[in-house]
Amino acid sequence: MTLHPHHHAATAHAWHLGLALAHLEQLAQAEAAAARTEWATVHDGVRSWQPSTGRSQGAHGDPVASAVTTAGSRPRLGLTLLHSNAVETLWWLLGQLDPTAVRRGRALEALTARIPRLQPSAAGELVRWLAERDQVVRDRTGRPADWRRVPHDWPCPACGERLLRLAPAGPEETWVVWCPGAAAGGVPHAWAWPEVRVGLPVAGRAA
Ligand SMILES: [Zn+2]
């Protein structure tokens, strides 16, 4: 099947989002573990509390009041929520693009596998969604972009841009190159990495 540049660009952005989501998942797991520890500490405090036989010391001396206030005063699971929302939205998106899709395995992998079968216009829409979600996740987690430069600053055949981006995830034969110089909303300048690689000087092919 001949793939449209929209398909290549969607695949590149899906890989890139995958790297951001994997990082987010690690952070979310650490956050959830910390929250469990905190809750266990709070509940231990509640269990060990006994009514005072003397005069009330007020809220400042009340372990229950201070424990409950601490536990409820700050959102502790923001990254966990961000991750679960992202995954849930990916499943929803897959269902919109393919109503026959079954929820099995990982959402982004299932979505990425469907990309070659999408209409080019749908793949183009998907690029925008993936890029937006990728930026949201990276803004929250502080993870910088994972794009690599194409070796030798290979110039884009369509516009001459020399800052082409490579999404290096998964097997090398599936890597994708895209060009940030293409006009937004137009047809992207994007190719499968193996197509680009054969045109590079030999030294660049090892990437
Ligand atoms: Zn270009």
Q: How confident is the model at residue 207, as a pLDDT? A: 41
Q: Lowest-confidence range among 11-25, 39-53, 184-198?
A: 39-53
Q: How confident is the model at residue 200, as a pLDDT? A: 74
**152-182, pLDDT tens digit by residue?**
888 888 888 888 888 767 778 888 888 888 7
Q: Lowest-confidence range among 59-63, 149-153, 191-195?
A: 59-63
Q: What distance in angstroms lies between residue 155's CA and the mean position of ligand 1's atoms?
A: 8
Q: What distance in angstroms lies between residue 137's CA and the mean position of ligand 1's atoms?
A: 26
Q: What distance in angstroms lies between residue 154's CA and the mean position of ligand 1's atoms?
A: 11
Q: Is the model more confident about 41 or about 107?
A: 107
* CA nearest to 7, candidates 138, 134, 174: 174
Q: What distance in angstroms lies between residue 181's CA and the mean position of ligand 1's atoms?
A: 5
- Please identify every residue whose CB atom is under 5 Å from ligand 1, which is an ion: 156, 158-159, 161, 179, 181, 189
Tokens of 179: 């060009």
Q: What distance in angstroms lies between residue 182's CA and the mean position of ligand 1's atoms?
A: 5
Q: Are 98 and 104 in contact (CB under 8 A)?
A: no
Q: How confident is the model at residue 26, as a pLDDT? A: 96
How are beta strands 189-192 and 176-179 bridged, if at all? antiparallel
Q: What distance in angstroms lies between residue 7's CA and the mean position of ligand 1's atoms?
A: 16
In Å, what is the CA distance from 89 to each residue of 2, 17, 21, 95, 151?
28, 13, 13, 10, 35
pTM: 0.77
